[in-house]
Amino acid sequence: MVFEDDSVLVVNKPPGWNTHAPAPYAGEGIYDWLRHREPRWASLAILHRLDKETSGLMVFGKTPTANRSLTAQFTARTVLKQYELVTDRPVALDSFTVETHIVRDGSRYAAVAGSPVGEPAETRFRVLRREGDRTWLEASPLTGRTHQIRVHAASRGLPILGDVLYGGTPSGRLHLHARRLAFEHPVSGTVVEFDSAPDPAPAAALLRGACVDPDETDAFRLCHGAADGHPGVYADRLGDWLLVQAESEDAAREWLAQERGGGRTPGSIGNSATSWHPVRGIYFKRLDRHVRASTPAQACPIHLEGETAPASVHVRENGLQFELSFTEGYSVGLFLDQRDNRRRCLTQHVGAGFPLFESGTTGHQLLNCFAYTCGFSVAAAAGGVKTTSLDLSRKYLDWGRRNFALNGLDPANHDFIFGDVFDWLRRLAKKGRKFDAVLLDPPTFSRSKEHGDFRAESDYGELVTAALRVLLPGGVLLASTNAARMEPERFLSVVSTAVTSERRRVAPQFYAPQSPDFPVNREEPAHLKTAWFRVD
């Protein structure tokens, strides 16, 4: 965040984050993420856009008055927009203007001179400095066409560094930054101007620096496979520790070497306003689809470098503390991709216009099925909710009690039930127990003596039906799965069919993509499907 008042919000968008979601079930754009994050941002309006790979200043309107004023200013081209770019091609002139029409050309755009086809576009360029074979230029677009600066720079033989789509030299990111933004304030009428120098850190690091508050959170996904340019490698910052997941130890060490080769300390993020201390130790976990056949000792992460972690380590997430362990099997105790959903339980704010509870913030009860180490329960309890945590493992429920205690929450004031979820949902329904919210985040596969095998792909509807029988009218159901073969459309259809079969209806519904530190692209599709439903 750069500036906020009652009328506008100005942010510094990192590279690698869309302005808005490109598709219904893709990752959230920065606009979507902001709008659903805080109630005061629920009415944010998009007034202009930046390409996904472009970084820099953006302004959002917060009121109808601000929206009308800024829209008129953008339309009249009175808003000052200045970009800074880098090219590694020789720049002969110190200043020049490119004026063409821009037309769509497959997945790209093209500059067409002397033709009425396409949209007219004009950009002014000015050299800022030259260093070796690189030149920094200021670009001032007088119009606002898609890819305008990129197309115009390439049309003069000066493709931007990192812009391979338009012939630029490959780099870790697109070196195009919206540096200056000035407009007439919609209420005061005075001109307000903002300046943000580009940060040279890699795009992946800047993305984490933008969406992770180090005062509240030190556990997050640092590298997410192909979405961050490293197929098959996933790295998590876990407090003082780094966990690298890959199909082989060699692949993990290669990623670490690349990080160091770029002059970076493994485990760091890049944001000039954010600093992270070096990790104390690094662990490796082999990605294994057959992990259920391994013993906990065989499945544990392997120590690679630095200090050996103690039996339990503590991390922060959304201001809460959680206990993790590298010695308890394949999972360390917290699924980081659910961080934003746990925050929704903590703040009792699901999304724009969707409070978790419609009637106040106290006196509510929440049932957390497949509770694992009770991360959702701790977040809800910290928000003042009475929780019931249900899981098939006593060990994990005891772990959950320790997480409660870590946060000054008395486990005795909450319920912990050991047993099969289906069995206990039947028991609770028979006893007439009802909850204001029920959370379902089951493993893709599980087995119990009471119910037998559970497979999310085939049995999720049965699970939802059982959960609805303990959900109060107007209550909220969280349904989530990372089952690879369940596409979002099918997943939502399964849940909706189960609701309808119980003669109930959903109003409203909110689909929550995975957190921004788990970015999504074609090479790394979304794995997590999560939806919140208010069920009448």
Lookup: tokens for 188: 């005061």
How is 384-418 classified by DSSP, letter by letter? T-EEEEEES-HHHHHHHHHHHHHTT--GGGSEEEE
pLDDT, tens digit, 9 for 90 and up, residues 437-473: 999 999 988 877 777 888 889 999 999 999 999 999 9
For a pLDDT cut of 70, what percent of the chain falls above it?
97
User: Is 525 domain-assigned?
Assistant: yes
pLDDT, tens digit, 9 for 90 and up, residues 120-161: 999 999 999 999 999 999 999 999 999 999 999 999 999 999
Backbone dihedral angles phi then psi of residue 34, each to the nearest 5 degrees = -65, -45
Domain span holding position 411: 335-535
Lookup: tokens for 423: 């069995």
Q: What is the pLDDT of residue 219?
A: 97
Calpha distance 313→50 (Å, rounded): 40
Q: What is the pLDDT of residue 275?
A: 54
Same domain, 218 and 354: no
Q: Which of 166, 195, 224 is the last residue of a domain?
A: 195
Place of tokens 């944001």: 271
Strand ranges, E, within 196-240: 219-224, 234-238
CA separation, residue 259 to residues 76, 251, 252 (Å): 45, 13, 11
Looking at the predicted structure, is the pLDDT value of residue 277 above 80? no
pLDDT, tens digit, 9 for 90 and up, residues 355-371: 999 887 689 999 999 99
**240: annotated active-site residue:** no
Residues 6+ apart with CB under 8 A from 115: 101
**Would you give the end-to-end CA distance of the chain in angstroms?**
38
User: Is 14 domain-assigned?
Assistant: yes
Residue 508: asked if its preceding bond is cis (omega within 30°), the reply is: yes
Asked if 469 and 499 touch (Cβ cutoff 8 Å), the reply is no
Same domain, 184 and 90: yes
Same domain, 365 and 471: yes
72 membership: H or E segment, kind and range: helix 64-76
504 DSSP 8-state letter: -
468 membership: H or E segment, kind and range: helix 456-468
Q: Which of 264, 289, 317 is the last residue of a domain?
A: 317
Same domain, 176 and 253: no
User: Is 229 domain-assigned?
Assistant: yes
Q: What is the pLDDT of residue 451?
A: 76
User: Is 451 domain-assigned?
Assistant: yes
Same domain, 153 and 73: yes
Calpha distance 100→82 (Å, rounded): 19
- Chain-centre distance of CA 39, in angstroms? 18
Looking at the predicted structure, is the pLDDT value of residue 533 above 90? yes
The helix/strand/coil state of 222 is strand
Q: Is the dihedral of CA 54, 57, 63, 65 positive or negative?
A: negative
Q: What is the mean pLDDT of the chain?
A: 94
Looking at the predicted structure, is the pLDDT value of residue 59 above 90? yes
User: Is 226 domain-assigned?
Assistant: yes
Catalytic residue among 32, 51, 236, 337: 51
User: Is 330 domain-assigned?
Assistant: no
Looking at the predicted structure, is the pLDDT value of residue 115 above 80? no
How many other CB atoms are found less than 10 A from the CB of residue 6? 10
Looking at the predicted structure, is the pLDDT value of residue 5 above 70? yes
Calpha distance 184→8 (Å, rounded): 11
pLDDT, tens digit, 9 for 90 and up, residues 338-350: 999 999 999 999 9
Same domain, 390 and 245: no
Calpha distance 6→480 (Å, rounded): 35
Q: What is the pLDDT of residue 142?
A: 94
Residues 6+ apart with CB under 8 A from 382: 320, 346, 407, 409
pLDDT band at 272 (very low <50, low <70, confident <90, very high): very low
Looking at the predicted structure, is the pLDDT value of residue 309 above 60? yes
User: Is 329 domain-assigned?
Assistant: no
- Chain-centre distance of CA 464, in angstroms? 26
Q: What is the pLDDT of residue 270?
A: 57
User: Is 324 domain-assigned?
Assistant: no
Q: What is the pLDDT of residue 274?
A: 47
Domain count, the chain: 3
179 DSSP 8-state letter: E
Same domain, 403 and 494: yes
